Structure formats: structure tokens, C-alpha cells
Structure 1
Amino acid sequence: MPAHRKPEAVLTEPSTTGTPLLEISDIVVNYGRIQALHGISLRVDNGELVTLLGANGAGKTTTMKALSGLLPLTSGKIVFDGKDITHMKAHERVIAGIVQSPEGRGVFPGMTVQENLDMGHYARKFESKAAYTETLDWVFELFPRLQERRTQVGGTMSGGEQQMLAIGRSLMARPRLLLLDEPSMGLAPMIIAQIFRIISEINARGTTILLVEQNAQQALTRTDRAYILETGEVTKTGTGKELLADPSIKAAYLGVG
């Protein structure tokens, strides 16, 4: 197995002053004989919004699937809230509080909005009816369109509405760590701006977020820290502000320079 490269630049060292919620150490993932991730390490502290940025094929979605337990590690370690979860099953990770809103939305097309939201509730059940109602009210506050269309079948909704539904369903599982995979994919600019404003609000209310995104401008403007992935390796990390000002990032992801 070839040795993986060290990041070419670290603009700001990952925070060591906050409380770590997620720590990934040298994870390697293979698809058969093809190595997709080459020893990725990153950290997400409690309350942070951290972004994984990279082109198609960089390994972003593979990283998210490894975190959610959908792909096994070839080597490396994943620690969540101080506990080694490297070999924990996917449904157990949801119960622990790691909840993913997947790439492509993945709504249940034959179910209503309400039924889709309740699938999140069933994945990590509430202890009381009051807690369920409070969370549902919060989702409807974030996404009023979902409340308006709670009896509409998910498959008949627009792309933007389905993205709202996918995020809302994830929130119904009360994530401690919300994994958002390409939430802006295929959406109109106005809807993208709306989705990102809501993501910022979710984070501001205390939910820790790990975001995979290709829309560098929207993501870096809001993120605490970001990791740049290239062909399965972390090549650069820094604060959102630093990366927005970095000439190589401007050229590669913002079309500037």
C-alpha cells in the first residue's frame, strides 16, 4: 500500500481548544482493489460546522459513507464522543447520534411529507410525545413549505422541496452530528442560498455539522474550518475565511485568478 501524502498546506491547525465530538485518524477505504481514501484524518468539535470540499471523485461521499457505517474501513480509526466506533454498525451510529442526509436526497417517493419525517423519528425514537412535537414544530419552523405540504407525496415535490424534506427527516432523528452530503446539488441559485441559510441556523442552534459540498463560496462563507480533498487525500485545511482568501482555492473552486 503506497504511503499517503501529508497535506501540502495547513493554514490553521485543527482546533484543540474545543471539545472533540468526532475524530478520524488515518482512515483508508477500498473498493475492491481500488483505494478510494488514502489515510484521511480530521476533527469536528462540538458545535462546529466543518466542510469537506473537493471535486467529483475526491472521496467526499466515500468519507461520509465510512462515517455513517455504510462502508467498512480497510484501516484507521473513528472516534465519536470519546468512543471508538470504527466497527459499530450503521443503525447503532444513528442511535448514537450520527445522522446523514444523503447525496441525492433519498426521500421515500411514495410516502407523504409527514410519513417521510416520521421515518427519521422511527430511526431514533423519542422518549415522550412532547419531545416529538417540539422537534416536529422546529422542523416546520425551519421549513414552512413542509408544513404546508405535509400530506403531499414526496416524489411529487420539486428538487428544492425534496432537499428540505431530506434535511428535515434527518433532524427528526435529533442528530448530535449531522452529515450533509451535497445539499446544493441540482438546485437553483435562489434555493441554494435558502438551504445554506437554514444550515447556518441549524448549526447556530447547537447542532454540529459536517458538510460535503462543491459550492465553495456558500460553504466556506459559513464554515468554521474546512478540509480540501483531492483523490482521497487531505491536501489543505484552514478556516473558511483563510481558504476563501487562498489563491489556489480561488483558482480551483471559485473561478478567480
Structure 2
Amino acid sequence: MLLEIENLDVHYGRIQALHGISLSVGEGEIVALIGANGAGKSTTMRAISGLRRPSTGRITFGGEDITKMRPDRRVVAGICQAPEGRGIFSGMTVQENLFMGAYTRKRGAQLNADLDHVYMLFPRLKERRRQPGGTLSGGEQQMLAIGRALMSRPKLLLLDEPSMGLAPMLIAQIFQIILEIRDQGTTILLVEQNAQQALSRADRAYVMETGSITREGTGADLLVDPAVRDAYLGVA
């Protein structure tokens, strides 16, 4: 497995946000993590990226224990996140935002080739490359957040709520691009409230409730699981 989480507890002060969760992501997979608001999905992402230190448990990436590794070293190791809320630099141009995603890398021909690759995935970003990031629409900002993460050449791309606030047509477009990114060799862990879209694309998925993982299986199996359909798909 590329990523393995074992018996992870995370606290915010006295409040326990994660209760002994275990999950894995295999190389070349899209793995989805679904659940209601406050279930612990984003906390899980922060623990993987190093922004939240676990109380107990272990995180292994590529066979190496990274539980205590600094966040910037995790980026170098191959983990990068497109955060919930996008987190773009509104005063910087689109292209400057993209280069910020490559801050651990040296400028050169390979970096320029990766920039061209992002522009191929997201032609709208190329059209807007000289505009400040803050002038983009919500969908364009989401494209920029994903593109910026790709500029670090991640082995594992963490996507936190990529469809949040987007129109249905844009949601379908974003998920199609997520499939393309996976097909081009990047492993993806996806946190998403839109369970229908996430499970339809995921190789495997986990369901989180109040800081614990309550179900796991293939995306196809969870799509037809009666409890999942009732709780997350609006189908009894």
C-alpha cells in the first residue's frame, strides 16, 4: 500500500476528533472518504498532510513511517493537498499561484513541462494565467487549487471537498478531470460530501461517522449499500 493509517487518534484539546481509525490507499487508486459534516474527514486529511499531530497511531507512506514528519517534508516525499475552501492566493496571478505549488522544486524544463500539463488539464487556467486568483469563479478557483497541488508532482493527491459550492455541470467536469489525473499515474484520496459522485468514481471507499470508520468497501458496493443510500444518497 502507498499509504497506511493504523489506529489513529487525534485530539483538539480535550475533544477527541478521530477514534482509532485505520485505512489504506493503494498505488493508482482513487479512494473516497465520505461522511457528514463533523465526521472527521478533514481532520484525517490534516493528519496525513502533517497539519495535525496524532495523539496515538501511525501513518506510513511508501513504507516509511511519517507520523512525526514535518508537513514540508511530506510534500517533498510526495504528498500534496488541495484543501477545503481552495486556499488560493487571491492577490497573485493564476500562474504565480501554480508556481507556489512547486516551491520545493527548482525552476527548469521539467517544471515548465508540468505547467503546460496543468494548462492542458485546465485550459481555462491558461486563458486566465495573468489574472489575479481572486478574480476567478468558484469553479476556476477549484481548478487552480488542484493544478497548484499537481505542480509538486505528488505521488498522493489529497482532495478535500473539490465539489463544494460548484454547479452540477462543473462538478461533473471536476470529477472527470480527477479520473484523468488518476489515469496519468497519480494516486488520489478524496474527501467528498457528494457521495454519489465520489462513490461512482472511487475504486474503494470508507464511511466516517463521529470520528470513526463505520463501513468500507468498493465504491460500487457502497453505492448499493442500503444504509449508505439512506444516509448519504437520499435513497431509502
TM-score, normalization by structure 2: 0.99
1:172-194: per-residue Cα shift (whole Å, max 9, x none)? 01001000000000111111110
2:39 aligned counterpart, secondary structure: coil
2:26 to 26, 45, 55: 45
**1:62 partner amino acid:** T
For residues 233 and 82 of structure 1, what CA distance do their matches in structure 2 show?
24
- Whole-Å separation in 2 of the counterparts to 1:255 and 1:133: 45
* Deviations, residues 42-87 of structure 1 (Å, cap 9, x unaligned): 0001111000000000000000000000001100000000000000
Instruction: Determine the structure 2 residue equivalent to 1:137.
Output: 116
- In the TM superposition, residue 121 of structure 1 has moved relative to its aligned partner by 1.2
Counterpart of 2:100?
119
1:109 corresponds to = 90
- Secondary structure of 1:196's aligned partner: helix
Q: Which amino acid aligns with 1:244?
A: L
CA distance in 1, matches of 2:195, 2:68: 32
CA separation in 2, counterparts of 1:212 and 1:255? 18
Equivalent residue runs for 1:1-257 within 5 Å: 20-122=1-103, 124-126=104-106, 129-257=108-236
Distance in 2, matches of 1:155 and 1:166, equals 12
Give secondary structure in 1 for the equivalent of 2:191. strand
SS of corresponding position for 1:121: coil
Give 1:29 deviation, angstroms: 0.2
Poorly superposed stretches of 4+, deviation over 4 Å: none
Q: What do you get for the CA RMSD once the two structures are aligned?
A: 0.7
Q: Give me the identity figure in percent.
A: 67
Please state whether the residue corresponding to 1:234 is helix, strand or coil: strand
**Inter-partner Cα distance in structure 2 for 1:104 and 1:168:** 15
Query: Following the alignment from structure 1 to structure 2, what is the Cα–Cα distance between the partners of residues 104 and 247?
Result: 31
Structure 1 unaligned regions, length at least 5: 1-19
Unaligned 5+ segments in structure 2 are none
Give the SS at the match of 2:84. Answer: coil
Counterparts of 2:17 and 2:225, CA distance in 1: 26
The equivalent residue for 1:14 is: none
Aligned residue pairs, count:
236
